[in-house]
Structure 1
Amino acid sequence: MSVWPAWEVREDERTTSWFTVRLAFSDGARVDALAVVCDGCASLEEVRAQPALSLDDLAELADWIEEPLFEACGPRRDPASGRGGSAGSRRARATWPRGIEGRRLVAQEYRAAQQGGADPVLAVMCATGHSRRRSLRLISQARDSGFLAPRHARR
């Protein structure tokens, strides 16, 4: 397994880092992933596998790459526990509420980031632990529910 930095965005005291992860197996199978680490939480942005992964293997992928990913990040502080954010202080992803409550919280995160001059989509990604695509879907659902203003004015 190899992990190397792809890019990093720093904003005030907050750092969001993307990493390229490659798992190569002796039988020729390969998994390439783009992982994002923000505030001590890691999520998978994109996964490509040859041959394709089963759903069970995909569910276990995060466990396979978590330790090497946090080692590549270096020592980070976990604000919730006060410990370092490496593999020794493993943190489960917080469950995000579904339905109207989840959409309302997405809208709050989005507006708070906008008002603070930060990237609102990235803020939703970090808050929910979901990929960019899933976060954009949650934002559009919040718009459809009336929690956010429409993206384009209707004529």
Structure 2
Amino acid sequence: MTVSPAWEVQEDAGATRWFHVRLAFPDGAGVQALAVMFGGCVSIEDVRAEPALSLDDLSVLADWIEGPLFEACGVDADDIDDEGGEAGEDERSGGRRARPTWPRGIEGRWQVAQEYRAAQEEGADPVLAVMCATGHSRRKSLRLIAQARDAGFLTPRHARPKAD
């Protein structure tokens, strides 16, 4: 596996970093990914695999590349908990990390709106903030943001003229 920095955006509280990740397997299979690290959270932006990954393999791709990404950033993966903060001794384990629990329904939509607005006020990427908070992919996070807009917690994305 090789990890090489693509680009970095410096912010007041830290940095958002993008990395090119390449995995080569002995049977000739390979995976190329564009990964993002923000606040101890790893997200996958783009994946190309030959042959195609199964859904099970795709679901654990972030776990596969998390360790090498943390090494590339000079961060010890054992010192980061699921929320991107420092983990306590009793929280460190060798098992797979679970997605953070996120409330469903109107409460979840309200919290998505809160995360989105907080990131906007800080000048950070609001979609990435929602991704890190919920543990969901970019597509699912965009869907949650749209649901928060539909519920009236966020302003409409585009003003649409009314039809006569």
Please tell me the TM-score bracket, short chain as reference: 0.7 to 0.9
Give the aligned partner of residue 25 of structure 1: 25
Give the aligned partner of residue 133 of structure 1: 139
CA distance in 1 between partners of 2:64 and 2:38 (Å): 19
CA distance in 2 between partners of 1:29 and 1:4 (Å): 20
Within the candidate set 100, 110, 120, 2:126 is matched to 120
Give the aligned partner of residue 73 of structure 2: 73
Gaps (5+ residues) in structure 1? none
**Aligned-partner SS, 2:102:** coil
Q: What is the root-mean-square deviation of aligned Cα atoms in Å?
A: 2.5
CA distance in 2 between partners of 1:148 and 1:133 (Å): 18
CA distance in 1 between partners of 2:30 and 2:129 (Å): 31
Q: How does the TM-score come out when normalised to structure 1?
A: 0.81
Superposed CA offset, 1:92-140 (max 9, x none):
5423333322211110111122233333223223322333333222211
In structure 2, relative to structure 1, the CA distance for the partners of 1:60 and 1:151 (3 Å cut) is closer
Letter of the structure 1 residue corresponding to residue 25 of structure 2: F
Superposed CA offset, 1:32-81 (max 9, x none):
11111111121222222111111222223223212111111112664343
Q: How does the TM-score come out when normalised to structure 2?
A: 0.78
Gaps (5+ residues) in structure 2? none
**Aligned-partner SS, 2:60:** helix
User: Could you tell me whether the CA contact under 8 Å between 1:5 and 1:19 is conserved in 2?
Assistant: yes
Give the aligned partner of residue 148 of structure 2: 142
- Provide the identity percentage: 74
CA distance in 2 between partners of 1:6 and 1:17 (Å): 8
The aligned length equals 151
**Aligned-partner SS, 1:112:** helix
1:10 aligns with 2:16: no
Give the aligned partner of residue 110 of structure 1: 116
User: Could you tell me whether the CA contact under 8 Å between 1:41 and 1:91 is conserved in 2?
Assistant: no
User: Could you tell me whether the CA contact under 8 Å between 1:21 and 1:32 is conserved in 2?
Assistant: yes
CA distance in 1 between partners of 2:102 and 2:46 (Å): 20
CA distance in 2 between partners of 1:123 and 1:60 (Å): 21
1:98 aligns with 2:117: no
**Aligned-partner SS, 2:46:** strand
